[in-house]
Structure 1
Amino acid sequence: MLSSIGADQILRVPLLPILAFQGLVVRRNAQFLPEPTGPREGREGRGPRLRLLIAGDSSAAGVGAGTQRQALSGQLVSRLAMHHTVEWRLEATTGHTTQDTINRLQELHEPFDVVVTALGVNDVTRAVHKQRFETQQRQLLTLLTGQMRAQKVIVTAVPQMARFPALPQPLAWVLGQQAARLDRGLQNAVAGFPQATHLALDLPDDPALAAMDGYHPSPKTYAIWAEELTRIINQA
């Protein structure tokens, strides 16, 4: 039983006073960036019709960019619109967990060809257990490939939180270990759906990839992310 428990989980109790203090400091010093301005749905480009949904948390919403054109939605749509007529929609909110996203998307009854999801950070900070996260991700994938009839779902990996500049040690290590644990659960969930692909971004150590809050992506990261998504979608 103990072999299945990570070192971070064992040390979390003795480290709790430090982790709690660091969490308070991070929240106090955090620059609460707004979600970018701009449209959250539209139609763009020429060519075969492509119905696109982007769903998830603050990164899906584009926090860290000034406008949606600089964020994931804008950068992805502009690339896809070179060869497709893209009918797109953004359903993402800062702070949303996997369960929040399931609740939100259950209210949609329109089909999409391609869905991009970005979730996990808020599940990490709310200490969602790996098994529960994996189960919820399976529920989300079932919703996307069933009710929404998505032919392709690209599931973005849980970010490597240990690399977030805003997080001090040992908080960064503890959250990073939990993020890696949830991402393994995410990969398990994706493996059960032939329509789904797990996308892990291989980002270099570049300060310009983080927004000014040291927690969210910058427009440069959104560009890399959009490029990888475009490659996968075009292959599909």
Structure 2
Amino acid sequence: MTSRLAAAALAPLLLVQGAGVRRRTPVLPEAAGPRSGVVAGDAPPLTLAVLGESPAAGVGVARQEDALAASVAAALAARSGREVRWRLSARTGTTAAQALVRLVPGLAGPPADVVLVVLGVNDTLRLRGRAAWRRDVSALLGALAPLTAPGGVVVLAGLPDMGRFPTLPQPLRGVLGRHARVLDGELERLARPGVRHAPAPPLDGPGLFAEDGFHPGAAACRIWAAALADTALPLSM
């Protein structure tokens, strides 16, 4: 049974569980602080542009310096020895379809050597269909092409394992976990020269979730950032 068929069969229970999760889960703000910055390095600079939903916006940590975008910039600088100039366009609740209007304009600037896309959890929560999700991400990749430097890469961050989010009860957790894997599989199929898929590392160890049991905390951001930087490098420059 597919995740969408399972959701249809369990719809009454899932609706009740979803309402309960929303009622008891604290609503955390996006991280405070600048949404651009520079990480020092000795070699010529590279540019990082990050686009995404709440994990990219820093929900789960207090400061942008501890959030995903700055953590990826730091990991890229450490691995490459280069200065990294980063900028972020992110907003809680954004789907891949909405990102075209909500987020892409906010990435205006010099073409980026690494463009990081962190989307899919909101599409999973909405049980976005496989084909529609693929169309949405493909359209987004088209819009990001002019923002990517020659020899640069777009990195599609893989969806985290929602089947292990502690705030989600069963069977809601299982349904969302299966659907997240389906959507992540479509991201992997979109990989090609200049577009890379970065599977999410395990992010459910002790102390890795924020207080809401849903978003990554600072330690999880560092782990995830390391995996993303490993996928982004080397660049063909």
Same fold per TM (> 0.5)?
yes
User: Partners in 1 of 2:83 and 2:118 — Cα distance?
Assistant: 23
1:152 matches 2:153:
yes
**Cα-to-partner distance string for 1:140-199 (whole Å, 9 max, x where unaligned):** 12222x211341111111221111110000001111111111111222222xx3111111
**Aligned residue among 61, 64, 68 for 1:68:** 64
Q: Is the 8 A contact 1:158 1:183 kept in 2?
A: yes
Q: Residue 112 of structure 1: CA displacement?
A: 1.1
Q: Which runs of 4+ in 1 moved over 4 A?
A: 106-109
Identity, in percent, stands at 37
Deviation for aligned residue 1:72:
1.0
Residue 11 of structure 1 deviates from its aligned partner by 3.2
Residues 153-168 of structure 1: pairs in structure 2 closer than 5 A: 153-168=154-169
CA distance in structure 2 between the partners assigned to 1:203 and 1:12 by the alignment = 25
* Aligned CA distance change for structure 1 residues 187 and 80 (closer, same or farther; 3 Å): closer
Partner of 1:217: 216
Give 2:127's aligned residue: 127
Contact 1:60 1:73 in 2 (8 A): yes
Residue aligning to 1:230: 229
Give 1:71's aligned amino acid. A
Q: What do residues 123-145 of structure 1 show as CA deviations (whole Å, max 9, x unaligned)? A: 1112211101011111112222x
Alignment of 1:79-98 (within 5 A): 79-82=75-78, 83-98=81-96
Give how far 1:205 is off.
4.7
- TM-score between both structures, scaled by the size of structure 2: 0.89
Give ranges in structure 2 of 5+ residues lacking alignment.
Answer: none
Matched, 1:28 2:23: yes
What's the counterpart of residue 116 of structure 1? Answer: 116
Q: Compute the displacement of 1:39 (Å).
A: 0.7
For residue 113 of structure 1, give the secondary structure of its aligned residue in structure 2: strand
Read off the aligned partner of 1:122 and give its amino acid letter. Answer: N
Kindly report the root-mean-square deviation, in angstroms, between the aligned alpha carbons of the 2 structures: 1.8
Note the C-alpha offset of 1:41.
1.0
Number of aligned positions between the proteins: 228
1:52 maps to which of 48, 52, 62: 48
Structure-2 change in CA distance of 1:69 and 1:185 (3 Å): same
How far apart, CA to CA, are the structure 2 residues paired with 1:52 and 1:45? 13
Would the aligned equivalents of 2:28 and 2:212 in 1 still touch at CA under 8 Å? Answer: yes
In structure 2, relative to structure 1, the CA distance for the partners of 1:7 and 1:152 (3 Å cut) is closer
